[in-house]
Structure formats: C-alpha cells, structure tokens
Amino acid sequence: MTFAGIPIRPGTDPPDLRSCVDYIRSANRPTTADLLAAAQADGRVLIQPRCGVGDHGRMLDLLRDLRDGAAPDILSVTVDAHTRLLRFAEAERALREDPYRLNGYPLVTHGWRRGRELAESVDVPLEVRHGSPDPRDLFVTAIASGITSFEGGGIGYNLPYVKDVPLEVSLGAWAEVDRACGVLAEHGVIVERELFGTLTAVLMPPSLCLAVCVLEAVAAAAQGVRCISVAYPQGGNAVQDVAALASIRTLAARYLPDTVTVYPVLHQFMGAFPGDPALADALILYGGLVAKWGAATKVVVKTNQEAYGIPDAAANIRGIRTTRVALSHLLDGFGVDQAAVREEQEWIEREVADLVDPVLQSGDLTTAIAAAFRSGRLDVPFSASIHAHSAVMPRRDPTGAIRIARPGSLALSTETKARNERLLRDAGPRGDEGFVAAVKADIERFSAAVGH
C-alpha cells in the first residue's frame, strides 16, 4: 500500500489520496503557498513562530494561545526528536508515561485525525518542522492531516541532525516526498517545501547555506515540487544578510525551472543566543529589520527564552510582537548601504556557482552531491555527521560578516578564496589565544555580555 508513491507504515492508516485531496481543497482557510504568493505581491513579510509540545490537548491550547496573543500568519508543528529518528515506540511510550518529556509534537504517533484537529483549531496554515533524514511517514501523516507545508531536505535535515546516515539514503527518502508533492500538484494541491539552509546554525557562511539549498531545490523541482521557500539564517552582519536574501531570487532564476516559485525566508539568529532578555529582544528586532531590508517573504521568529530552552507561549508571543515592530513603518527611514549589498551579493553568487556548478554538471544529482561531500568539495562547518568533512572553518571579519577562514577542500575558485582571506586578514588570531579561541569568540558575538 502506498500514498502518492510512499509506502504506508502499518498502523498509520491514512485515508486514500483522493479523499485527502478533497479534504484539503474543501478547507476554509488559505494554504501556505497562497499566503506566500499574496505576501510577495503585497511586499509583506509573513511572521511564523516555532512551537510544539508532546501532549495533544496542550498543543491545541498552544496554537490557540499564539493565534489569539500575536496573530502570526503561519503556525508551526515542531516535531519531537524520537519521531524525527523514526523511534515511534519511544515516542509512544513517552506519550503514555509523560508527554512533557517530549521536545515536540509526535505527529505520527498522535495520528492524522488529531492532526486534522490541530489544522482546524486555527484559521492560519500550519507547517511541520522537524529535522528528519527520512521524513516519509511524517509527510504522509501531515498531508492526511491537511497540512501542506513541510520543512526539510536530504542534505539540510541530515548533516546537522544525525551522525551516520549516508546522503544517498536521506536524499532518496526526500526524493520520494518531493515526488509525492508532484503527484499532489497534479491533483491541484500545492505543497510548500521549505529548505533548511540554516544547517548547523553556527557561523554559517552564506554561500554554503545557499549552495545546499540550490542543490536541494533542483532535486525537488525535478520531482515536481512547485513551491519552495529557501531559508537563510541571520548571521549578524546586516549587509551580508540582506545580500544573501537578495541572492536567493537571483539563484532561483538561474538554476530552477519556471514551474517553481521560490520565496526567500529569514530564520532569526540561530546561533548562541543572549541570556539577557533585553539583548535577546534587540537581536529579535534586528532579525525583523533584516527580513524587511532583504525583502524576505517570511521570517521565522526566536524568543527571549532561547538561551534557556523551549520557550513558553508568552515569550513566543513577545517574539512575534517584537518582530512586528521591526516590520512596521515605525522603523522606516534607515537601512543598509545598497552599493555594499550589491557587491556582497555578487560575491555570494560567485561562491555558490563555484560550489554547485560542478555538481550540477556531473550526471546523477544524488550521486554527485554525495561524491562532493565525500571529497570535501562541498562541506559544512560543525557537522554532526561523519558524511561531511567539517574541515571548513568560518571566522567573522572585523565588520562581523562571516567568512571562510579555512576552506578545507571546498571547490572555491582562487578569486573567492583570496577575497575571504583578504577580508579576514585584519581579524587575525586575537592575542596569543590562537585560532580556536578566536572562533569561539566569533560564535559568542551575541551571547557574550555587553560591556559599558
């Protein structure tokens, strides 16, 4: 038994494809794809919080509290770590014994009927956010629940999250999901697929985020996906962040067929967050401004409890409201140097081309991606997976922009390598502390206490 080509896990018992399509099309609320298209046309930035708790009743309350308290445009169902790793027995046991132990909502275990209760509980669309190298069961349950927005990809949901899943395996599983999105599109249901360019979230050079997203997007488009969000994580230098967001549109036009609509999304700062709530609020506001300046279609918000763990609803509401202040006319009238943005954008796009062009030109895409990571021609810093070298080492330049200090075997050209080196020359190892201490200080740029 399959669902849009995906084998059905025994016990999950989804309705057949046709009745799911009817359910989705009869729902009296917009889909994420609808909202993104409207926001793009109006030049608006949609706001979305992350949220997910184990207990079903509490999850319903959380969605309604956030909706009533802050009116976000899209809400999230963040899935627990057991479900992400297909440990359904553990998720079921935790749910039975103590749902508060779960760090997210176990959607597959709760099942699609409860999923529909979530989707029907609010008048805005939901997105499933997780971190699963094999998302097939989760995807089927999401679609059967009427949730048509699904985060992740075969690289971005592998390298940061698991130690030893070969890229061929995760890319294969995600190809099945993308193919199912193609089948659903033929039935008039557009599933929005958000690509997790944030990767390991620590000092991520923009070109590496975007190169991974371009490759995942090309793979998704080839399977029939029609609506893609490319998520880029705020790094902390506004010129660089705005340039990275702007380059998403250029890269989409260059590498993707026009059957696909692509939207830039900003994830507010994903690295080490300040514990001081005043500083955290400021960083959230800064993220909102960068989303506006970079013409992102959506911003995913942080909270001022980020440094301490999973936030409560009140902190989440505050994060959404702070972000809305940044997007309002209140803070119009200042921004970033456009000439500097254009120059930075050109270099980001050159680096992305250095990284992805050889992969796209070498036959089967899955094989080529896996081979590129095996050789280190593609690489990400601080990977949890043994299937990336993690030889690349980032540093901040004196302006706070993230540069590639040690390229490892990355397929960068002489020119792009030289520019990274040149911009970092003044940063230097600080004092006699050495390179590692300097990288650590760069990681802690926003979490370290502010002096007077």
Partner 1 sequence: MNQFNRATVILGVAASDAHAVANILIAESLREAGFLVVNLGVCTPLPEFAEAYQANPTAVAVVVGSLNGHAYDDLRDLPALRARGLLGCPVVVGGNISVGSTKSDRDRARLEQLGVDHVLDDVAHLVPLLAGLAQPVFA
Q: Given the complex with partner 1, which of 126 and 380 has the nearer CB atom?
A: 380
DSSP code string of 291-354: HHHTT-SEEEE--TTGGGSSPPHHHHHHHHHHHHHHHSGGGTT----HHHHHHHHHHHHHHHHH
Q: How far is the CB of 434 from partner 1 (least distance, A)?
A: 6
Per CB under 8 A, the list member of 163, 329, 425, 452 interacting with partner 1 is 163
Place of tokens 């690509």: 195
User: Can you state the angle between helices 206-223 and 238-255, rounded to 10 degrees?
Assistant: 30
Size of the site for partner 1 (CB under 8 A): 19
Q: How far is the CB of 381 from partner 1 (least distance, A)?
A: 8
Active site residue 29: no
Q: Given the complex with partner 1, which of 208 and 359 has the nearer CB atom?
A: 208
Nearest alpha-carbon partner for 410 in 436, 381, 382, 438: 381
Using CB under 8 A, which residues numbered 388 to 417 contact partner 1? 390, 393
Q: Given the complex with partner 1, which of 257 and 434 has the nearer CB atom?
A: 434
Per CB under 8 A, the list member of 49, 111, 274, 381 interacting with partner 1 is 381
Number of H helices, E strands in the chain: 17, 12
Q: How far is the CB of 396 from partner 1 (least distance, A)?
A: 15
Cβ neighbourhood burial of 57 (10 Å; 0-12, 13-18, 19+): exposed
Using CA atoms, how far apart are residues 172 and 166, in angstroms rounded to an integer? Answer: 10
Per CB under 8 A, the list member of 202, 246, 320, 378 interacting with partner 1 is 202
Place of tokens 């909270």: 303
Q: How far is the CB of 210 from partner 1 (least distance, A)?
A: 21
Q: Specify the stretch interacting with partner 1 by CB under 8 A; choose among 29-37, 157-165, 191-199, 416-424.
A: 157-165
Q: How far is the CB of 419 from partner 1 (least distance, A)?
A: 23
Measure the N-to-C terminal CA separation of the chain; round to a whole number of Å. Answer: 65
Place of tokens 């930035």: 45
Per annotation, catalytic residue among 50, 114, 136, 151:
151
Sign of the CA dihedral with 219 first, then 141, 134, and 36 last: positive
Q: Given the complex with partner 1, which of 32 and 383 has the nearer CB atom?
A: 383
Using CB under 8 A, which residues numbered 425 to 444 contact partner 1? 434-436, 439-440, 443
Encoded one letter per residue, x for contact with partner 1 by CB under 8 A and - for no contact, window 338-377 reads: ----------------------------------------
**β-strands 126-129, 6-7 pairing:** unpaired
Using CA atoms, how far apart are residues 170 and 160, in angstroms rounded to an integer? Answer: 12
Q: Given the complex with partner 1, which of 13 and 433 has the nearer CB atom?
A: 433
Per CB under 8 A, the list member of 109, 158, 297, 383 interacting with partner 1 is 383
Using CB under 8 A, which residues numbered 90 to 149 contact partner 1? none
The H or E element spanning position 228 is strand 227-233
Active site residue 421: no
Q: Specify the stretch interacting with partner 1 by CB under 8 A; choose among 41-49, 321-329, 360-368, 385-393.
A: 385-393
Q: How far is the CB of 439 from partner 1 (least distance, A)?
A: 6
Q: Is 384 in the site for partner 1 (CB under 8 A)?
A: yes
Q: Is 11 in the site for partner 1 (CB under 8 A)?
A: no
Q: How far is the CB of 393 from partner 1 (least distance, A)?
A: 7
Q: Given the complex with partner 1, which of 84 and 193 has the nearer CB atom?
A: 84
Strands (DSSP E) contained in 124-176 are 126-129, 149-151
Cα–Cα distance list, 121 to 14, 40, 43, 126 (Å): 20, 26, 28, 10
Place of tokens 């009427």: 146
Catalytic residues: 84, 151
Contact set with partner 1 (CB under 8 A): 160-163, 200, 202, 381-384, 386, 390, 393, 434-436, 439-440, 443
